[in-house]
Amino acid sequence: MVDCARHEMKLPCSVGDLQKGEKYVNIDYLVFSTITQFALIMFNFSYNIACQWHKKIWVRMSGMPECLRLDHDMKIVRFFVPKFHIRAHIQKCQTAFSFNFTHGVGRTDGEAPERGWANFNHVASSTKEMGPGARHDHLDNHFGDSNWKKRMLLRCTMLRKMVEAVLRAEAHRQELKEFEKTIVPEQLERWHTEYEEWEEKKSKSNPFNSQITPITLSAVRLQLAEEESWDLASRTDVSLHPEVSPLILISSGLDLQDLQRHLASDVAGMGIHASDLQKGNIAARCNALQQRIDSWMQIQLLYMPSVATLRATGCSDNEEDVANRLEKIKLNFPSELSPGTPCDQRLQRVEWDLRYAQANDALNEV
């Protein structure tokens, strides 16, 4: 199906049958049989795999009948990946084929065909027993009805969206001004110049591509593990436990901290009318987590003996709610110690590197 992504209208000659999957030969035919009916200067194509589909599209078009060929040299043709699907693509696709980074597309998300099929999926139960002709006519009736309803409700929809857009546009304009105040004017001017050059000629460097390699938690763990491997090879390793190195100690401690938070969140969401099965699962998780924390704390004393006095003033073991007690257990990472408390600098550096990478991962997920 080929839809108008801006208005979600069903276009003529835009629906066809597939033999197996979305083969290019089917998609190309539907696209060109649709757009050749419109005398437009600009075409914006939104497709889940536009980053691959657009390659050699004009070569494939040259093998089609003359009536289906688009004079693309006299048109402005741009390709996009819909906003919901683009997050599953690589970083290069997320900038080169993004609606967000392109002038003149408004807030179009490109997901019109997906929403369209969501509305018509219920028709499948009746059409699957029809012959080809009856099925086509039946679908055409539904598509025509959808277009008619869209036209009748267009004034209400446009008014609602316009009011929302005006309010949000002003809010975003103020946010942009505040953000630009934090940037050096020369750097901001240079970025605007690069953006204008890229808008004029897409072959130039994309200013939206990140120039900084993100620091991930997995990459930092690998780097620290390689450093420990080098220490072992050069016989300079000073680990105090044969199986738990400083990296493993801090890394497993961070994992335990995450488990504490997840357990507390699950308990809070369980409600007062939890079933015995839910309570049993929580109790089993509490027992397993308690054992892991106890084992970790025993090894922690080898590297951080000063935490022994801190634990004596920690949470009480008499807490009635086991889950709440586990949540309140302080693991006493190096960053949580007071300035006067002695601590190995290796542990401090390992925790800093892991926390920094953990923060980067969290920001990338936002």
How confident is the model over 288-345, as pLDDT tens digits? Answer: 999 999 999 999 999 999 888 887 765 545 555 555 678 788 899 999 998 888 888 9
Tokens at residue 109, please? 């998300």
- Domain's final residue, options 112, 127, 142: 127
Among 101-115, 165-179, 303-317, the least confident range: 303-317
Same domain, 243 and 352: yes
Same domain, 100 and 240: no
Average pLDDT value for residue range 223-227: 90
Asked if residue 149 is part of any domain, the answer here is no
Same domain, 101 and 221: no
pLDDT band at 116 (very low <50, low <70, confident <90, very high): confident
Q: What pLDDT shows up at residue 323?
A: 58
Asked if residue 321 is part of any domain, the answer here is yes
Asked if residue 136 is part of any domain, the answer here is no
Asked if residue 85 is part of any domain, the answer here is yes
- Domain's final residue, options 127, 150, 181: 127
Alpha carbon 362 to chain centroid, angstroms = 11
Same domain, 230 and 339: yes
Q: What pLDDT shows up at residue 321?
A: 58
Asked if residue 164 is part of any domain, the answer here is no
pLDDT at residue 230 greater than cutoff 80? yes
Burial environment of residue 334 by CB neighbours within 10 A (0 to 12, 13 to 18, 19 or more): buried
The 10s digit of each residue's pLDDT in 124-145 is 888 888 998 998 999 999 999 9
Asked if residue 308 is part of any domain, the answer here is yes
Q: What is the DSSP letter of 210?
A: -
Q: Which structural domain range is residue 307 located in?
A: 217-365
Q: What is the DSSP letter of 10?
A: B
Same domain, 240 and 110: no
Asked if residue 82 is part of any domain, the answer here is yes
**CA 350, CA 89: separation in Å to the nearest integer?**
32
Q: What percent of the chain has pLDDT over 90?
A: 50
Q: What pLDDT shows up at residue 214?
A: 74
Burial environment of residue 300 by CB neighbours within 10 A (0 to 12, 13 to 18, 19 or more): buried
Same domain, 221 and 359: yes
Question: Residue 119: which of 93, 98, 145, 99 has the closest Cα?
Answer: 145
Q: Name residues whose C-beta falls within 8 Å of residue 71's C-beta, 6 or more positions apart in sequence.
A: none
Asked if residue 200 is part of any domain, the answer here is no
Average pLDDT of the chain is 88
Question: Residue 5: which of 45, 42, 58, 32 has the closest Cα?
Answer: 45
Same domain, 229 and 344: yes
Of the chain, the end-to-end C-alpha distance in Å amounts to: 33
**CA 326, CA 324: separation in Å to the nearest integer?**
5
Q: Are 2 and 43 in contact (CB under 8 A)?
A: no
User: At CB < 8 A and 24+ separation, what contacts does 179-184 make?
Assistant: none
Among 50-54, 109-113, 315-319, the least confident range: 315-319
pLDDT at residue 237 greater than cutoff 60? yes
- Domain's final residue, options 127, 147, 169: 127
Q: What pLDDT shows up at residue 203?
A: 81
Average pLDDT value for residue range 51-62: 94
Does this model's pTM top 0.85? My answer is no
Same domain, 359 and 259: yes
- State the total domains in the chain: 2
- The kind and range of the H/E element at 46 are strand 42-46
Same domain, 226 and 92: no
